[in-house]
Amino acid sequence: MTLAPAPGSGMTSQRTRDRMVARLRECGVADEVVLEAIRDVPRHMFVDEALASRAYEDSALPIGFEQTISQPLTVARMLEAVRNGRELDRALEVGTGCGYGAALLARVAKAAYSIERIAPLLEKARANLRPLRIRNLRLAHGDGYQGLPEVAPFNAIVVAAAAPHVPRALQDQLAVGGRMVIPVGTENQELRLIERTSSGFKETRLDAARFVPLRAGKG
């Protein structure tokens, strides 16, 4: 289900964010912690000024470097899936992009980490995030396929780009009981939920998806 653009003026106002949250709730997002995070984080701060009037539409928007900021409904559903009603101690985002997803993850986890392979985009994210003064968020420049083993394990991993397969390194960085949501596929993508149990991994297919590709290495 796609959200309609918020009507009226004041596209960067709190009232506009409230309307977006109401529409997300109508689309089935029920996790109040996630909805409150989306209400708190001003999405227009993470897009170019020319696109600020579209910041609260349910659409992916370009952020440069052939990357996009994901649509709010997709972000909300991914966060809801990895949280699963739990309080998160430590969470990882793969693909910092403009920093919006990282800001949301820091609202729902005690400690949040985000990794980005494109150095200039990471610096753009740092600049976007600086005014929010988020104390429990750490950004890293690195290969998303490798994750951040030095600070693992994670209770939750959110991957914001599509991989052709589920990276083993990311699976291994899940704590027992941890959950990862990742888009998988090339032309035909789908969101998958990976859960780590005491005896191995459980994989569940969720919705169809459309993300930029997850690339290896650093740039």
The 10s digit of each residue's pLDDT in 82-115 is 999 999 999 999 999 999 999 999 999 999 999 9
Structure tokens, 198: 């005491």
Residue 76 in contact with residue 140, Cβ under 8 Å? no
Percent of the chain with pLDDT over 90: 82
**Superfamily of the domain at 14-209:** Vaccinia Virus protein VP39 (3.40.50.150)
198 is annotated as an active-site residue: no
Residue 165 in contact with residue 183, Cβ under 8 Å? no
Question: Tokens 């610096």 appear where?
Answer: 123
Does pTM top 0.85 for this prediction? yes
**Domain regions of the chain by residue span:** 14-209
Model confidence at 219, pLDDT cuts 50, 70, 90, reads confident
Burial 168-180 (b: 16+ CB within 10 A, else e): eebbebbeeebbb
pLDDT at 9 over 50: no
Residue 145 in contact with residue 123, Cβ under 8 Å? no
> Using H for helix, E for strand and C for coil, what is the string for the chain?
CCCCCCCCCCCCCHHHHHHHHHHHHHCCCCCHHHHHHHHHCCHHHHCCHHHHHHCCCCCCEEEECCEEECCHHHHHHHHHHHHCCCCEEEEEEECCCCCHHHHHHHHHEEEEEEEECCHHHHHHHHHHHHHHCCCCEEEEECCCCCCCHHHCCEEEEEECCEECCCCHHHHHCEEEEEEEEEEECCCCEEEEEEEEECCEEEEEEEEEECCCECCCCCC
Query: What is the distance between the alpha carbons of residues 200 and 58, in angstroms, rounded to a whole number?
Result: 36
pLDDT tens, residue by residue, 119-174: 999 999 999 999 999 999 999 999 999 999 999 999 999 999 999 999 999 999 99
Q: Are strands 88-94 and 109-116 parallel, antiparallel or unpaired?
A: parallel
Question: Tokens 């780009």 appear where?
Answer: 161
pLDDT at 7 over 80: no
Query: Which one of the listed residues 9, 13, 70, 198 is annotated catalytic?
Result: 70
